[in-house]
């Protein structure tokens, strides 16, 4: 792998599917492909990569919880095919799940998975690392994820064991072999420009986005949730999450592959994630400053703009509660 200056000039993506071969039809084909991805069923158990741009693919995972049937991969994965190998974005929740991901890659390209990027330290983003390292892949992540992976890896294994049962066989918390530091890291992978974007995390400390400037596609990891309500954990920080989302807006991507939910647009990502984060921080910040008790503050939050999101009735009160507690300490 080589490092170098990234050519940030956007190149209009095209889809070579047997019908979209001429430059005159590139834009129409891209739009058709995007709308097709928006219609994918997130309930599908089979791991399958679908095109979102030329040589760029996504698997849209289940929006429900981790189950035996969905391999605990209830989130999205990415695949970028280069002339010299494939880049996998997130490796799944187990060694056996990673094996299924590898089989799904083979249906798209004969190129081996040479690189894996973990977008954060949550189980389904990296517990499949061991499989791909054994196949010779280089596994990478931002250094902000290292302490989180080390701290929570054993707990993730324990939590997934009764869910996946024998499907957890062979799974160990195998860490990346390359850690990136700084806000933006530019890579040249077989002539494909890849930028790892990190602004201090948000959902977890290591949250990173994988930006493909040549195709205008960004894999956001859990910086973006659409279709379902976002999740907050004790390690989450809404302040840096907003900063990460603002970095996404600065990219102005053509296609957004979120951490959870269907392939989408920046506008929808803003509606389902960015606006919600800012509204929570504004409301809870005012409540803390006014001395409003946490119960009243949570009940007083206007949830109407977010009723279209799955699980909003259960998780939004929890998210509001955690945001209040976080802002008390700021």
Q: How much is the pLDDT for 7?
A: 31
Q: Which tens digit of pLDDT belongs to each residue from 216-263?
A: 999 999 999 999 999 998 999 999 999 999 999 999 999 999 999 999
Residue 208 maps to a domain: yes
Q: Which tens digit of pLDDT belongs to each residue from 92-144?
A: 999 999 999 999 999 999 999 999 999 999 999 999 999 999 999 999 999 99
Residue 16 maps to a domain: no
CA neighbor of 118 nearest in space, from 92, 152, 97: 92
Return the CATH number at 310.
3.60.15.10
Q: Which tens digit of pLDDT belongs to each residue from 251-304?
A: 999 999 999 999 999 999 999 999 999 999 999 999 999 999 999 999 999 999
Other Cβ atoms less than 10 A from the Cβ of 261: the count is: 27
Residue 10 maps to a domain: no
pLDDT-based confidence at residue 43 (cuts at 50, 70, 90): very low
Q: Give the residue numbers spanning the domain of 182.
A: 23-328
- Percentage of residues in the chain having pLDDT higher than 90: 81
Q: How much is the pLDDT for 41?
A: 36
Residue 8 maps to a domain: no
Other Cβ atoms less than 10 A from the Cβ of 223: the count is: 31
Residues 6+ apart with CB under 8 A from 324: 284, 287, 288, 294, 297, 298
Name the helix (H) or strand (E) containing 209. strand 209-212
Could you tell me the pTM of the whole model?
0.85
Residue 298 maps to a domain: yes
Residue 17 maps to a domain: no
Residue 88 maps to a domain: yes
Q: Is the pLDDT of residue 66 over 60?
A: yes
């Amino acid at each position: 792998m080589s490092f170098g200056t990234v050519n940030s000039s956007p190149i209009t993506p095209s889809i070579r599917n047997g019908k979209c071969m001429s430059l005159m039809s590139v834009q129409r084909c891209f739009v058709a492909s995007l709308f097709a991805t928006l219609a994918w069923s997130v309930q599908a158990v089979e791991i399958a990569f679908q095109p979102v741009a030329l040589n760029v693919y996504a698997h849209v995972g289940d929006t429900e919880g981790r189950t035996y049937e969905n391999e605990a991969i209830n989130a999205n994965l990415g695949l970028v095919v280069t002339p010299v190998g494939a880049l996998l974005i997130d490796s799944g929740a187990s060694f056996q799940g990673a094996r299924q991901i590898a089989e799904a890659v083979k249906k798209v390209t004969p190129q081996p998975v040479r690189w894996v990027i973990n977008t954060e330290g949550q189980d389904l983003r990296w517990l499949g690392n061991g499989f791909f390292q054994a196949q010779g892949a280089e596994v990478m992540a931002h250094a902000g994820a290292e302490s989180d992976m080390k701290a929570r890896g054993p707990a993730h294994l324990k939590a997934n064991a009764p869910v996946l049962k024998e499907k957890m066989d062979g799974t160990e918390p195998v860490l990346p072999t390359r850690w990136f530091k700084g806000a933006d890291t530019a890579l040249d992978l077989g002539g494909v420009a890849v930028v790892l974007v990190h602004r201090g995390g948000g959902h977890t400390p290591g949250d990173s986005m994988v930006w493909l400037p040549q195709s205008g596609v960004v894999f956001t990891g859990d910086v973006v949730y659409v279709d379902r309500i976002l999740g907050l954990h004790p390690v989450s920080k809404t302040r840096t999450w907003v900063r990460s989302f603002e970095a996404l807006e600065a990219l102005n991507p053509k296609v957004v592959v979120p951490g959870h939910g269907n392939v989408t647009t920046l506008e929808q990502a803003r509606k389902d994630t960015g606006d919600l984060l800012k509204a929570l921080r504004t409301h809870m910040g005012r409540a803390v400053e006014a001395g409003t008790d946490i119960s009243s503050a949570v009940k007083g939050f206007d949830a109407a703009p977010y009723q279209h999101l799955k699980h909003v009735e259960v998780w939004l009160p929890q998210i509001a509660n955690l945001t209040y507690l976080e802002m008390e300490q700021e």
